[in-house]
Amino acid sequence: MMTGSVSIHAAGRPEEQGFTLIEMMIGMAMGLIILAGLTMLFVSYSDSSRAMASRTERMADLYLASHVMQAGLRESVSNTAPSPAFPVDMGAGGRKPAGVCSSPNNLSVSLPVNYPASFPYYPYWDATSKTLTYQDLDGNTGVFQYQRTASDRIYWLRPDPCVSQFEELMRDLDVNTGMQVAIAGGVLTVSLTSSYITEGKKSSSLSLTFKTWPRN
The pLDDT score that the predictor gives to residue 23 is: 74
The pLDDT score that the predictor gives to residue 103 is: 44
Look at the chain and report how many structural domains it folds into.
1
The pLDDT score that the predictor gives to residue 15 is: 57
Strand, helix or coil for residue 140? coil
20 part of a folded domain: no
Q: Which domain holds residue 160?
A: 41-98+105-212
The pLDDT score that the predictor gives to residue 6 is: 53
Instruction: Report yes or no: 135 and 159 within 8 Å, Cβ to Cβ.
Output: yes
5 part of a folded domain: no
The pLDDT score that the predictor gives to residue 80 is: 54
The pLDDT score that the predictor gives to residue 95 is: 44
7 part of a folded domain: no
The pLDDT score that the predictor gives to residue 136 is: 81
Counting Cα atoms < 13 Å in the Cβ hemisphere of 216 gives 3
132 part of a folded domain: yes
71 part of a folded domain: yes
The pLDDT score that the predictor gives to residue 128 is: 93
Element (H, E) at 53: helix 21-73
pLDDT, tens digit, for every residue of 117-168?
878 888 889 999 999 998 887 778 889 999 988 889 999 999 887 788 899 9
Instruction: Report yes or no: 195 and 170 within 8 Å, Cβ to Cβ.
Output: no
The low-confidence residues of the chain, meaning pLDDT below 70, are: 1-19, 42-47, 77-107, 214-216
